[in-house]
Amino acid sequence: MEAHSSPPLLRIPVELRYQIYSLLCKPDVLCYPYPNSPITTISLHAPPRALLLANRQISQEVCAHFYGLATFRLTALDAAPIKREELSVGCLKALGQAKRVELQMCWNLNGNRRLGKRGWPWSMDGWVAEMVELLRDVGKQLLVVVVCVRVGTRTRLPEDWDIERTILEPLMGLKGRVRFEVSSGVIVHREFSDDVMRDLGGFVKELNS
């Protein structure tokens, strides 16, 4: 009697159930999924709400599947920072369950920005530190942090890496808690892409050591 009282979905092998969950969690990028949130994209669409409400076991399996595959991208924008108390409930819940987060930052060392941090936008001076603090406090399930950069200049000086490293330095606050990876989506001018990838890869290797 108990076996027949369970939902039909639970009567099929778990491997088939996860194939169904994969079809329902489509690999389409979802943009700006939450208000008042640093999350700009999610790599998968969330499963249908009806499925989450169908049964506790099904809900747990679907959520585990979704959060095990989805990448939550946080992007450094030039807008003013969002206060922690103003972050949406959906954003905090997502970061609390996320296992994989990508931090996308911008390096734009034009003109006087090479002379010091005075005049730097928040996206370059403060954003990484704030995201690291947020993930330390909220990201209890976090396993992987993907490091992604957009280099907004067409020139790069030999000493630029010393400056760029200071932008990345707050990531040390997550060292030993997560595994770091270099994103395949790094955006950089092709003339110095090899140098950027070498420097970035070396720093990530240091984070993982």
Q: What is the dihedral of CA 92, 168, 202, 111, to 10 degrees?
A: 140
138-147 average pLDDT score? 97
pLDDT band with cut points at 50, 70 and 90 for residue 1: very low
Distance from chain centroid for Cα 138: 13
Which two tokens mark 138?
Answer: 């909220």
Residue in this structure with the two tokens 């108390």, named with its chain if needed: 85
Per-residue model confidence as pLDDT tens digits over 35-60:
999 999 999 988 888 888 888 888 89
3-class DSSP state for residue 115?
helix
Quick check: 3 pLDDT over 70?
no
Longest dimension (CA), the chain: 75
- pTM of the predicted structure, to 2 decimals: 0.87
CA distance 206 to 13: 43
Calculate what percentage of the chain has a pLDDT beyond 70. Answer: 96
Out of 16-20, 93-97, 103-107, 160-164, give the one with best mean pLDDT.
93-97
Per-residue model confidence as pLDDT tens digits over 143-162:
999 999 988 787 888 788 88
The pLDDT assigned to 4 comes to 56
On average, the pLDDT of the chain sits at 88
Per-residue model confidence as pLDDT tens digits over 62-90:
888 899 999 999 999 866 788 899 999 99
Run of H or E residues at 162: helix 160-168
The pLDDT assigned to 90 comes to 94
